Structure 1
Amino acid sequence: MLMADITTRQNTPVVPTVPPTTPAPAPRTAGPQIAPGDQPPNPFPQQQEGLRLFGAPARELLFAGLFGDRGEPAKPVGPAPGAPNASVQNGTPYEIGPDRRPNIHHDNGFLQNPNDPSDPNPIPTREPTEAERKYYDDQVNQAEWANRLRHVPFADKVDGRLGLDNALPAYEHFLKGKGADREFDYGEYLNNDPAGIATRDRVVGETRAAADALLGDLDQKVGPNPGDSVTFQIRSDAMATEKNGFGYPETEDWQKTIGGHSFWSSAEVTVTRNQDGTLSARAEVTMQAEDRYNFNPNQQDIKTQVPDSERGVLEETGLAHQYTQRGKATYVTEWTVGQAGTPQVGAEQVTPR
């Protein structure tokens, strides 16, 4: 498999740079808070009554309490890639080969078979009561109104404080999407949420270290002349938030958009012989995430403490539908082979592609 995945290129110089070391995941902190009495203006006063839900203030309901956190326990499963073309970085196996989706198991939330937590098939739904239909209609109206509110003239001030630009469309899709798959901006999470930034930098750093380890005796394949190069692909096994030190999203927006989720990385690595005989490497690292958007028994919203069961009934009755959402982002990183984790003052950070 090793030889089949390697192509040799001649005279393609790559200028090496060495990014700083991968930072440790940031400690979890509370999401954005609204100061007491700090209520955004209501552009639709006639709709004020419709904002009441579970007795919380209207300003909390529209944004923070409209729906719960994405709390799915991410469960990557499947055999680790085997030797000899494998490298393990902090518990995550990497191997030579093109990108492929690892074996990932998603739960079915309130439709999970109670007798078999690993059953991939959701249990049948039941007929909703009249009260449950009215509750669903109320949730749809609130979600549609909240998404419209993001586009009114003063929305920048509101979004600057509460920032649920990703979470609101995700919840509306849960209510109206009929279970269709959905794409989300994973790069925005990796570039802005503190836990996302730590995850991105750690995965890029581990990918570099894995590439160094997997290069192995390929040193002789690069060729002896300056500019000689070799290109190969590597891929990781599944990783997950709150596993092996990866943190849960810290901002309320991403707690409610993806919460606990699975992800993996792949990279195309080019190693080039330098004038002094050393090797420089350049990698395009692609991180991909996959999440099952649903609500889970025995969990609750981090900010409002509203139990997931309040919205789980929408799954049980078939009024709303769980769905799979995916996102990806690619970064370019460069380093000197053998120094994947060595810091260099003034070195560039990873570059989004």
Structure 2
Amino acid sequence: MARHTRRDVLRGAAALAAAGGLVAAGPGSQPAAGAAQSDGTATRRFPFLEGAFEPVTEELTAFDLPVTGRIPRELNGRYLRNGPNVLGLEDPRAHHSMLGDGMVHGVRLRDGRAEWYRNRWVRSSQVAEKLGEPYPGPVPPDDFPSNTHVIPYRGRILALQESGPLPYELDDELNTVGTHDFRGTLEGAFTAHTKLDAHAGELHAITYYPTWDHVRHLVVDPAGRVSRTTRIPVADAPMIHDFALTENYVVVFDMPVTFDPAGAERGAPVPYVWNRKHPARVGVLPRAGGAVRWFEVDPVYYSHTLNAYEEGSDIVVDLTAFPAPFLVAGNGSGAPYGAGTGRLERWSRSPGSSCPDGCRSASAEAGFRTPERW
């Protein structure tokens, strides 16, 4: 069985990116911090392999869970979460909190009872090999045990990962069914954070990949097929972890965290860096079609959106922000690191306002207000 790992994929992307001239600049990852022992020597600590972050080492199933208080009888369904849970780590120094094998945890609620708890690794080819299990069928390109998000979609459960790997479908008891490519219509990467327009029955995604000179806005129609793909040109292959969707617009956050080909060649666990040369900007794409209108903003990293809507003539987006520089590869801790504390911000702009300088200014005349801290 061919072995596909994220590191192999990113090293291959680094070679292609170098050939294509992608450029990134900024600090790389740093070694994990050490703690001094009583004899003066240093012992290395790995905070994202310890305490609350210590990996779960086995899959469990428990029935008829004890309940404190009362579960409303109307609350029926599954509560699920997904996250990195490293399996068979050979070298802790190579670990990064974003790279663990995906494990989905779930509690089934029904008729006022907590019927069961389960936790299951997402059975990618790598996980199947580690567990000594067969992997059904050919190994897909960029295979990875999706570890970032889990969503319900058209009666399915999908574990999601950005920048390459296909979603993995799980059954109702969290066993892996296989990869999901939206009935053969998904070409290339998907995203960790989709947006569902329940009224239109559409699933939306912004996808990126290290060798692309663009990002893509995908629309999955009510039949479960990718029905529309809009390519949005961008430089430097930025990491776009989340986006926003309103009734009439798609909002894209092009921030200065970009692919680092040299880091990928060196084997950096997460080869993305803070790139001071890459302008921070927000793009607004009409859902009905048309050009993206870009607005430059102060360098910052916007990681997740909380809400987005239209209020009169304004687009309003609530989101989380980290001050510059934001180091995805970490700052000695094995996890993303921000120069300051993350905060909540609100953006608002008027899509019908005038756009001096080709809509690249964040000035008041362009209808774009400075983000305000809540």
* TM-score when normalising by structure 1: 0.22
Structure with more of its chain in strand, by fraction: 2
More helix by share: 1
TM-score norm. by structure 2 comes to 0.21
Larger Rg: 1
